[in-house]
Every structure is written in C-alpha cells, then in structure tokens.
Amino acid sequence: MLPSNSKYHRKGFGLKDQIQADLSREYESDLIASIKQNNNTICHAGITIKLAQAFGFCWGVDRAVSMAYETRRQFPEKQIWITNEIIHNPLVNDNLREMEIGFIPISDEGNKDFSLIHEGDVVILPAFGASVQEMQLLEAKNCEVVDTTCPWVSRVWNRVEKYKRTEFTAIIHGKYNHEETVATSSRAQHYLIVQNLSEAEWVCEYILNGGDSNLFIEKFKDATSIGFQPEKHLQRMGIANQTTMLQSETEQIGKLFEKTMLRKYGPTNIDEHFLSPGDTICDATQERQDAMLKMVEEPLDLVIVIGGYNSSNTGHLHEIAVKHKLQAFHIDGPDCIGPGNQVSHKPIGSTSSILTKPLLPEGDLTIGITAGASTPDQVIAGVISQILEIRSDSKISVSNVHQ
Ligand code: SF4
C-alpha cells in the first residue's frame, strides 16, 4: 500500500510550463526530430543510419524526470535527495547533481547512508521505485517524499501484494540486484528471483524431481526471501517480472512454470498452485523490443545500442542484435566514439567497457541505431554526429546532411 499523507507526492506540482524550456534544451534534439521526419533515416558520406521505429525516452522516464525538475522548482530552498539514479542515464543524473539534488551515498557493500537525511528534507524516489523498508524509513524521518515510480512498476507491485495476501510465492523474472526487482521483492512475503530461462528450468526440474535443498538455497542465496524453503514455498506460486526484461523470455518462463505445476498437481488443482502472470512487461519496453526485432531483419552492417550500462532494457536490445549475429556495440553516449575510428563499448555479460577499432569498416555502410528507454534524444544525436564525423571533415548539422 502506498502512503497517503500531505507529504507524499505521486504527481508533479503543476509546474510543467515552467520546466519545459529546461527539458527541451537539455534532452530534445533538432537532428533527431528531423531524422524522424525522414522515415528515421539519414545518409552521409556513404553511411546510411537507420533509427529503430521506437527508441529512447519512454513515457515513464519522461514523467519521472519532469517530476524531479518540478520538485526543484517547488522546493527551491530545501535540501533535496534522491534514493538512487532517477533513471539509468548518466547525462540525466549529472544534470540532477548540477541542480543540487543529492544522491544518497552507497557503501561498497551496497548499503545506503540515510543518516544524511533530516526531517523536512525532500526525497525523490526514482522511476523504478523504492523498497518498502526505504519508504517506511523516510516516513519515520518525516520527509517530503516525491514518488516518481512508474505506474507500470506499481502494477507489478499490486500483483505481488496479491500473491502475498493469498500466500502464494512470487517467482520474479528479473535481476536480483536491480533496484526495481529489489523494490518488487520487498513487497512479497516469499519470493524467488530467476534471472533467465536456464535458472527457471533448473527450478522446474527441482519441483518435479526433487533435489538437494541445501544446494538450492546456496544457488539462490541472493535471490530468495529470508527463510525460503524450496519444498514448502514452491507449492503455490505466481509469476511477476521486472518490467524491462526480454518479453519473449518472461513469457517462456511463465509457461514453463505453468506446465510444471500442471504436471505436478494436475489440471483440476492448478488454480490452487499457480496464478498466471498477466501482462506486466511495460508498453515501452515491448515497443522498443518489437522495433529492434524488426530492424535486425533488415540488411545491416553494424548496430549501435545506446543507453546506460546498468540499464536493463538497453541490455536486452543489445542481446537481440547479438542473437541475430550482427556486429553490435552497446555504448552509453557520444564520448564512447573516438578519438578517430574506434569505440569504447560494453560487451554482454562484461562488467567493464572495452575498446574496439575500427568502428567503421571501409566502404558504404548501413548502421542500425536504437536506444533504451532512459536515453534522451540529445545523446542519440551526439552519437550520430560522432559516427558521421569519422568519415567527414566537417561538423555534422541538420543542414549539411542529405536526408
Ligand atoms: S521502461 Fe517501462 S516501466 Fe520503465 S519507466 Fe519506462 S514505461 Fe515505466
């Protein structure tokens, strides 16, 4: 349940008109607007760049960033904090720091230092939400809370809270250390987080054929609720997910658990043991994944995926390109390109970026570009300019590019 008091804000403060100029200046781009008008294509010096049909800032991110800007206007004199990155984009987070919005420090062990927050301070909760424990702590501190949690995330929370009320275990398809999944799991009584299909298969095998419960507990020690007992807590389950996972995988995992519970308990008893997941992959994630699946069917020499390195939905767009055996680079902004014809990028599964050169091989090229839901147009435009400048003596602008 969400708090309901005058210090808890779930909407902006009616200051949209006052912040619009700042948002346009910092995040929008004439170049991208113009490429969109040209069927998402731009050609220059033998390079054709095709933008996916859906990319970049989603509705939920747009809303969260606007609310943060409005919060600064609404409380000009107050100390403002944010419990985490508002979204996974370095530019946006740097801009918030410049607006003197403080990020709550996190220790190497992952613990947040809430002692810096005092009564009367304002605290912004990011688009992927906050855990129940954090929200209780902030309420106890008598802070002004601005909750930018995306409604798509809240939808999943409602589902998990329903599982809790009916004593079903929440099986969450997500990354156990992702902020959204931490917040979602905090709303469950019992939970198990599976990161991918192969982990789900392992669990289903255990459900059907049994196994060593100590091994189970060790394998999922970071991904289960306190006191989780596989024999007991895998008898009744419902599926939930991090909203930005790969949609096809979430569906496969849901079906696999349903089939497993059907085999174990039979069709007449299934309702006592399994609750179907419903549709909880958010629209924006789905649209971007669908657009990417369409784009990779076209003949492309190269794919660039832009977004924060800790952005889950961006990572999944990258995976789609790699699965289609395309040369694909995940970068987090224009600075990853250059100097010269090289790119600093993060391979799938790697914790750090590596350098690859050349970025652009010889000859005419068609490059597909997409961006995760937390990437502003201005960052995408910067990347396009950097790519085109590799083959150009002149700076790229809308006016000197053939569209
Ligand atoms: S990606 Fe989806 S869940 Fe995340 S903020 Fe955007 S709309 Fe909301």
pLDDT digits (tens, 9 = 90+) for 201-223: 999 999 999 999 999 999 999 99
Using a pLDDT cut of 90, give the percent of the chain over it: 87
Mean pLDDT of 132-143: 94
Position 151 pLDDT exceeds 50: yes
Q: What distance in angstroms lies between residue 228's CA and the mean position of ligand 1's atoms?
A: 30
pLDDT band of 276, cuts 50, 70, 90: confident
What are the beta bridge partners of residue 330? Answer: 305
- Ligand 1 center–CA 373 separation, angstroms: 7
Task: Answer yes or no: is pLDDT of 398 > 50.
Answer: no
Ramachandran angles phi, psi of 75, nearest 5°? -125, 65
Average pLDDT, the chain: 93
Nearest Cα residue to 29 out of 353, 396, 274, 402: 396
Domain 60-150 has what CATH class?
alpha beta
Q: For residue 397, what pLDDT band results from cuts at 50, 70 and 90?
A: very low
Is the pLDDT at 196 greater than 50, yes or no? yes
Closest CA to 183 of 203, 88, 191: 191
Using alpha carbons, select from 362, 374, 321 the residue that is nearest to residue 345. 321
CATH code of the domain occupying 28-58+283-400: 3.40.1010.20
Tell me the domain boundaries of the chain: 28-58+283-400, 60-150, 152-275
Contact 222, 177 (CB under 8 A): yes
Q: Fill in the DSSP letter of residue 402.
A: B
Q: Is 220 in the pocket of ligand 1 (CB under 6 A)?
A: no
| pLDDT of 165 over the 90 cut | yes
Confidence of residue 402 (pLDDT cuts 50, 70, 90): very low
Q: Looking at residue 111, what is its pLDDT?
A: 87
Count Cβ neighbours within 10 Å for each residue of 327-347 and write b for 16 or more, e otherwise: ebbbbbbbebbeeeebbbbbe
Among 66, 84, 152, 181, say which to mutate for ligand 1: greatest number of ligand atoms within 8 Å of CB.
152
Q: Does residue 150 have its Cβ closer than 6 Å to ligand 1?
A: yes
**pLDDT tens by residue, 281-304:** 788 989 999 999 999 999 999 999
Nearest-10 Cα torsion for 134, 150, 180, 194: 140
The CA-atom distances, in angstroms, between 287 and each of 268, 379, 400 are 36, 20, 31
Q: How confident is the model at residue 325 (pLDDT cuts 50, 70, 90)?
A: very high
- How many angstroms separate the CA atoms of 232 and 223, rounded? 16
Mean pLDDT of 324-350: 96
Q: Which pLDDT score is estimated for 3?
A: 64
Instruction: Average the pLDDT over 149-155 and give the result.
Output: 95
Please list, residue by residue across 160-173, b when 16 or more beta carbons sit within 10 angstroms of its beta carbon and e when fewer do: beebbeeebbbbbb
What is the DSSP track for 117-174? Answer: --TT-EEEE-TT---HHHHHHHHHTT-EEEE---HHHHHHHHHHHHHHHTTPEEEEES
Q: What is the pLDDT of residue 394?
A: 47
Residue 80: alpha-carbon gap to chain centroid: 24
Atom number of ligand 1 nearest to Cα 153? 3
pLDDT of res. 108: 83
pLDDT band, very low/low/confident/very high, at 342 (cuts 50, 70, 90): very high
**Domains 28-58+283-400 and 152-275 are alike in CATH topology:** yes
Q: Residue 198: is its pLDDT beyond 90?
A: yes
Mean pLDDT of 129-147: 95
Percent of residues, the chain, with pLDDT higher than 70: 96
Task: Report in angstroms the alpha-carbon separations of 109 from 87, 106, 145.
Answer: 21, 8, 26
Q: Is the CB of 243 under 6 A from ligand 1?
A: yes
Contacts 24+ apart (CB under 8 A), 351-360: 353/309, 356/329, 359/302, 359/329, 359/387, 359/390, 360/47, 360/302, 360/387, 360/390, 360/391
pTM as predicted: 0.89
Instruction: Please name the helix (run of DSSP H) or strand (run of DSSP E) that holds residue 281, with its range, or none.
Output: none
For ligand 1, atom 5: residue with the closest CA: 60
Judge contact between 15 and 70, C-beta under 8 A: yes
pLDDT in tens, 236-267: 999 999 998 988 899 999 999 999 999 999 99
pLDDT in tens, 63-96: 999 999 999 999 999 999 999 999 989 899 999 9
Q: Which residues pair with 370 in a beta bridge?
A: 305
pLDDT at residue 248, as a whole number? 87
On whether the 152-275 domain is CATH 3.40.1010.20, my answer is yes
d(CA 366, CA 203): 43
Query: What are the CA-CA distances from residue 308 to residues 154, 196, 288 (Å)?
Result: 23, 21, 15
What is the rounded CA–CA span in Å between residue 241 and residue 194? 9
Residue 4 clears pLDDT 70, i.e. is over it = no
Statement: residue 1 has pLDDT above 70:
no
Any bridge partners for residue 237, and if so which?
169, 274
The predicted-structure confidence for 349-380, as pLDDT tens digits, reads as follows: 998 999 999 999 999 999 999 999 999 999 99
Q: Look at residue 109 in the predicted model and tell me its pLDDT.
A: 83
Ligand 1: which residue has its CA nearest to atom 4? 60
Ligand 1 pocket test: which of 59, 89, 148, 150 has the largest number of ligand atoms within 8 Å of its C-beta?
150
